[in-house]
Structure 1
């Protein structure tokens, strides 16, 4: 019976067909017939059509394949255009095995671009907000519901929070109450934000008999923020429907969908004014002012310090322009006279270098004039400098109150002008499209970028579409033609200047760590390249750590110190998925010690293993250069891991290249979050400096103190350079709070970095403290060896 009687889909399902003869009608009038498989994608079939058509008449009349789309007659007897070219043949409900190729015209071209962009940015993932349901209310013993509302400017509360009356618990509570704030409309700053929170008043259960009545407490249920002014600088008025979010994500599993709060803003409609008032000149400088502006470790100001800063604001502008953040923090944003004067100051404030300007993108500085000033400062960055801070600039997009803002426009302009910046802007945005709170904003920015970069869509599509293939069972699928095609000839997401040509299926493997990462090997024209695909790990913390190591390398080289650092490529591509560059010709300390020791139990204490391994890889005169590489890189990573507080340092995440370069991998713990077991801290040294490392540095001679002292001097010089640039590191980490990393969620987490970089201390004091840490690392290195032995033992007995 011919397939058309039931339709191709039914035949494939009923008969289990894997192959079928298809007929193809080309726009040149040529007819083709060949076999396709059920797992072939539309994209694959189109390539097969072009391959078969090369030997046919009129082939030269055909345009690029993207200029055409397949059409078919489906099971509902309708003509259907197969725009989604990643669909498999078995998913297309054909009535007959016939496809017609037609040229795209007019809206068809736009439709193709729209479809491609939708696939690229991952639309349709998770765009719904949270909802309070009756199930939630049923889980809690509530007496009543209450609303609290506050007006904020950044993190600053502008006036007292107001609280509504209590209403009884129901699925659609209504207050119908006027909430009055103790501030006049004229004193509302431009970036005022109305924050509304819904609480349940819960009755507390008695734990023991008491004469007192049961006390009640408020349980946060949901919240919503909205700007008081709209994007036209006008105060909002009228009734608004606002979607709410759960107060503690993940606390209540029954929160789904979208709930809404209806509020009526009774405010006179007027334009926000930023009239500049005349500023009186200040002709004196108090010693206290110098003390205030020199304090790098500031968090709060006393009232007298605020008054002095504001009184001498013109002096600050002229002599201490880098202290602008402090002046913005003490500005009274609920007094329109002070706001107007601050705006006037910003208009004539001298431009700041990026190290200071970046701080102004934090959540604490929402004023649009301040943010516009910041972008004006950042426009002077070279492309390589901008790329160094791109990760943070994407994160602080979350702090912007409006979709159309200076930061978005700035990033799009530079991304469209530079392929590398555009490539990584795409991936930094695309990797967080699963986060519902940013998916709308990031999706619109991605769409704008894609529409401005049409010629790069094909390369980006190939990269995006190969990720799902990698997630599937490699052993079963990877040798199939469809998978080989999808994973070959891909522009590397880690480096857009490299094309991953031919996948070497026989050399691909699953690694033996917990999440079973996939090791992919590619053969290029002159070389082989390796990429590790991780599924189940959040690589954003690794990305941030490697970015900081790259920045350290730049700062050291600027001052003539090349410590042979190796910040390998790492990229988060989605929800707990990502790619890592394979560093060729390298091995872990654990493997080197194990392979060069008679007993696995004592391998960690074999001080000759590393030196012997380097000798085997670098015969003759090459050994001196390998030891030099080891010495410099060891110094760099000692300082870097100390400053960043890198934890979980064992012999499987420290590696050495055959050329001698030492480097660290796997940065799951930083900022002093060291691992412990049974409440005991397993890492009790400031950084890793074992005696077998010293043995290599001293070229195997215990009395070679000259080599070791040079190593110590390299460490001290490297540390001093980082301390001079401490503010930059603190600012970059502060901007990453928006990423929601578990070990970087508040200002307290950054305190470790401020301490390790000795912010607020002199260079002499900082160096003195580092020398103490250096000696401690060397003296206590035997503890590191014990930890490494225990790690190896635990790994071997998994």
Structure 2
């Protein structure tokens, strides 16, 4: 087996090679072979080829070196042109060490940019990969987004010089040694900047800084689903076309018809690669029509067919809905499941008991991205099963792993010789006047109801009847009105759209909710983006994580949300940086890789000068992962000392030294990284990289094997809490340290310097592990040692405020697994929590026994510090209690915002946040729907419980310490 099967670079690094014998094929037919250093760039290697070729025949037939480009076969078995000549040989993913020199074709700059973008977004040769889709929607989207982004790049280039400088070198983003110190030095100060423009002399400018289930594995299942529309007498005449699609045929009448689904399915299961199929007695197809989360009509189920080499369905699946009543965003959801026959142990009237085994699901839109009713055949590769058979929240994209999944062939028949389109709103808008009977009390009761997922019919009628009243007096109740709108009635849809056009803009706290998958209508989503446009860059950045996730709910590539995010990213470098990494970190997820890849391509096209920095960051992360894999492998066979020495040898290689030096931190683009590295003792052996700058030390932790997205979400919420508290004059000294997911279970975490865990502090101040957790003086003594004299009072104040903040934050978010190794204290007194693997009330248990029995951590040693070591210092403790209560009241007043942000994160697929049920804990902890007095009364009960039961926490900490010491 050739080494390229594993990757040439993997072999070279594993063997510690500094050079390798390369083979070169020249355009003249000449063959060269000579050693090349792994650290050499493509440009240098080309020069070496030219030097070696001088003594070979036909050298004079060669043109200038710039007229040629190296090509190779990469690890994805594709031909790749090595346009980026600054890449090192060690970074080229060769299948075999063979390079071919060919004449360069086309625009060199364009090809270089395309190559860089392809490597950066992780899609191989993205240009060819995207084109291989042969998808008109993809092609049109790429063309539109390229024009969109390049136009904005041109506009940016036309900015006045000071605005141009502000974008390219923002004071709060441009790398410097100490961020905080640089802000103090630069904010509001005039500094001289030397700017050198091409073809000009150096000019000096004065610039002012402006920014302070069972799941069998199916190899192949083919289904044919035929959708047939039969006409009925008397119907609604609908017009075809939208103004934006000029190529559409003339308007055609669309009579009211009833839609029938019938399937003529043929499926083949490859038993050799199917797990648990022997348990399945027969197969069934289920289908449902949805508009967002609303089921439009009764679910249709096929007959059962026996599992054999070619199971066949030949049956109509009839949906009780007319074609003319189909909502524009109708989603057709299919599920394939098996029926398992189980013999009951006890004799009953029925001999057998059935159990369903979900196998696969797939979704598709009924109308295409041009509003046209789909016709023809669509091959749909399915996704692995989920707990619920039908999955309307899931993607409408096909599974790209077509060789290892079930496949559906869906056929939409032509019911007319011409295409049929969803009628434009202007053609069905009927304005009606009527007397509205004012029913204030009932309407107020409906709009004040926080739990509005279900409505009685009379409530729906009243809301719809008084919709104008809702717009004028209760605009924030728009989500309720959208939920009760009959989207299968064109007249009602037209009325709703007309109302949206004059609906007052909503605050972001309420508008964000409308991006949930329950609101798929494009007009509603456009209204939401209109509301979000007034967000400042800092506010938009606060919600960027959620806005990226809800891209997964979009039914088509071209949507207002995508354009909005790209527009803001191209106008603000910080937003662009983090938009890139939020998208890039999920490129390994098949259901979003196409959409996210296209958006990344568009961003890079509009920000060409950002590509170089991003490539450097990506290379550094790749080296960190390779280094971490090396440490993990070595630590299983050698001692820590030997592994450390081996790591030092590895990191001194030129390719590692260059990749890990002078690189902008993806976690914080205002920091340039360079210096030392060590690894930690935890299971995943995370790397601890310390970088020493002129004034300060900066540390980051690289984790490989842990999904950091839940930590990102939790820290985002803590940061938001801090903002809300400070807005109302309450500074609780929170430490929401930086955390960024950069790929599949990889990411970076900011190191909070000069801090230690409670476990270490207690252990170092106690004689044994058995007594460490119960040593109430350990924390106070540690603070005294770090803060002598007058500094102690300030340290205790920092501890008191931060302890109050984290008590409230961890209670509201339901943070679990709180032991003494994931609560830390800085030397200045700030207490803070780390490692948020469990939240929303998912507390840890062992042997079925709940190990965490308190609402939040408030131990007596914490109280001991707060009371300055005096047991009778009740004044200090009561002030602490008041801070907790004030902080909690502020969060309750903003409860809707937290619930909405968590709801939007359902798209992320986090294990503890996958459905609306998971958010119920948050609604309860924030007392949603209750008065402030009721909420505070409940919190006081929880506060007293945490204090009273704190001894249980100490026992849990002691058991944790014993378990850790005995590993």
TM-score > 0.5, shorter chain as reference: yes
Which residue number in structure 1 is paired with residue 688 of structure 2? 519
How far did residue 20 of structure 1 move? 7.5
How far did residue 37 of structure 1 move? 2.8
CA deviations on 1:606-630 (whole Å, 9 max, x unpaired) are 1111111111111222111111111
Deviates more, 1:689-698 or 1:38-47: 38-47
Checking the alignment, whether the CA contact within 8 Å between 1:541 and 1:667 is kept in structure 2 is yes
How far did residue 237 of structure 1 move? 2.2
Cα distance in structure 2, aligned partners of 1:41 and 1:152 = 54
CA deviations on 1:264-318 (whole Å, 9 max, x unpaired) are xxxxxxxxxxxxx436463513312111111223332222222221221111111
Checking the alignment, whether the CA contact within 8 Å between 1:158 and 1:333 is kept in structure 2 is no
1:736 maps onto 2:905 in alignment: yes
Cα distance in structure 1, aligned partners of 2:6 and 2:959 = 65
Checking the alignment, whether the CA contact within 8 Å between 1:355 and 1:728 is kept in structure 2 is yes
Checking the alignment, whether the CA contact within 8 Å between 1:553 and 1:563 is kept in structure 2 is yes
Checking the alignment, whether the CA contact within 8 Å between 2:118 and 2:125 is kept in structure 1 is no
Checking the alignment, whether the CA contact within 8 Å between 2:675 and 2:692 is kept in structure 1 is no
CA deviations on 1:345-377 (whole Å, 9 max, x unpaired) are 111111100000000011111111111111110
Checking the alignment, whether the CA contact within 8 Å between 1:285 and 1:315 is kept in structure 2 is no
Change (3 A) 1:599 1:200: closer
Checking the alignment, whether the CA contact within 8 Å between 1:192 and 1:228 is kept in structure 2 is yes
How far did residue 218 of structure 1 move? 4.3
Cα distance in structure 2, aligned partners of 1:534 and 1:661 = 25
How far did residue 641 of structure 1 move? 0.5
Checking the alignment, whether the CA contact within 8 Å between 1:21 and 1:33 is kept in structure 2 is yes
Change (3 A) 1:8 1:159: closer
CA deviations on 1:227-260 (whole Å, 9 max, x unpaired) are 11111112112332222222249xxxxxx999xx
User: Aligned to 1:224, what secondary structure does the other structure show?
Assistant: strand
Cα distance in structure 1, aligned partners of 2:702 and 2:10 = 36
How far did residue 165 of structure 1 move? 3.9
How far did residue 143 of structure 1 move? 4.4
CA deviations on 1:14-67 (whole Å, 9 max, x unpaired) are 999744899999999999999953465648979999999999999999999999
How far did residue 111 of structure 1 move? 2.0
Deviates more, 1:78-87 or 1:475-484: 78-87
Checking the alignment, whether the CA contact within 8 Å between 1:471 and 1:535 is kept in structure 2 is no
Cα distance in structure 2, aligned partners of 1:35 and 1:406 = 53
User: Aligned to 2:675, what secondary structure does the other structure show?
Assistant: helix
Which residue number in structure 2 is paired with residue 412 of structure 1? 566
Cα distance in structure 1, aligned partners of 2:118 and 2:6 = 33
Change (3 A) 1:621 1:185: same
Deviates more, 1:279-288 or 1:68-77: 68-77
Superposition pairs of residues 155-554 of structure 1, within 5 angstroms: 155-170=293-308, 173-210=311-348, 212-248=350-386, 277-278=431-432, 280=434, 282=436, 284-463=438-617, 474-499=647-672, 507-554=676-723
Change (3 A) 1:705 1:791: same
Cα distance in structure 2, aligned partners of 1:10 and 1:155 = 47
- State the TM-score, normalizing by the size of structure 1: 0.83
Checking the alignment, whether the CA contact within 8 Å between 2:283 and 2:336 is kept in structure 1 is yes
CA deviations on 1:638-669 (whole Å, 9 max, x unpaired) are 11011001111111111111111111100011
Checking the alignment, whether the CA contact within 8 Å between 1:281 and 1:314 is kept in structure 2 is no
Checking the alignment, whether the CA contact within 8 Å between 1:44 and 1:482 is kept in structure 2 is no
Cα distance in structure 2, aligned partners of 1:651 and 1:236 = 58
Which residue number in structure 2 is paired with residue 666 of structure 1? 835
Change (3 A) 1:595 1:56: farther
User: Aligned to 2:439, what secondary structure does the other structure show?
Assistant: coil
Change (3 A) 1:484 1:285: same
Change (3 A) 1:303 1:7: closer
How far did residue 734 of structure 1 move? 0.5
Cα distance in structure 2, aligned partners of 1:483 and 1:64 = 33
Deviates more, 1:23-32 or 1:437-446: 23-32
CA deviations on 1:463-500 (whole Å, 9 max, x unpaired) are 1xxxxxx999834511222211111111101111211x
Checking the alignment, whether the CA contact within 8 Å between 2:644 and 2:678 is kept in structure 1 is no
Checking the alignment, whether the CA contact within 8 Å between 1:278 and 1:341 is kept in structure 2 is no
Change (3 A) 1:227 1:575: same
Cα distance in structure 2, aligned partners of 1:14 and 1:687 = 47
CA deviations on 1:100-124 (whole Å, 9 max, x unpaired) are 9999885222222222212211115
Aligned length: 749
Cα distance in structure 2, aligned partners of 1:116 and 1:510 = 31
User: Aligned to 1:351, what secondary structure does the other structure show?
Assistant: coil
Change (3 A) 1:521 1:25: farther
Checking the alignment, whether the CA contact within 8 Å between 1:433 and 1:574 is kept in structure 2 is yes
CA deviations on 1:410-462 (whole Å, 9 max, x unpaired) are 11111111111111111111111111111111111111111111101111111
Change (3 A) 1:314 1:477: same
CA deviations on 1:506-558 (whole Å, 9 max, x unpaired) are 85222122222111111223222111011111100000000000000000011
Checking the alignment, whether the CA contact within 8 Å between 1:150 and 1:157 is kept in structure 2 is yes
Deviates more, 1:647-656 or 1:724-733: 647-656
Checking the alignment, whether the CA contact within 8 Å between 1:125 and 1:434 is kept in structure 2 is no
- State the TM-score, normalizing by the size of structure 2: 0.69
The gaps in structure 1 that reach 5 residues or longer are 127-140, 250-255, 259-276, 464-469, 500-504
Change (3 A) 1:440 1:73: closer
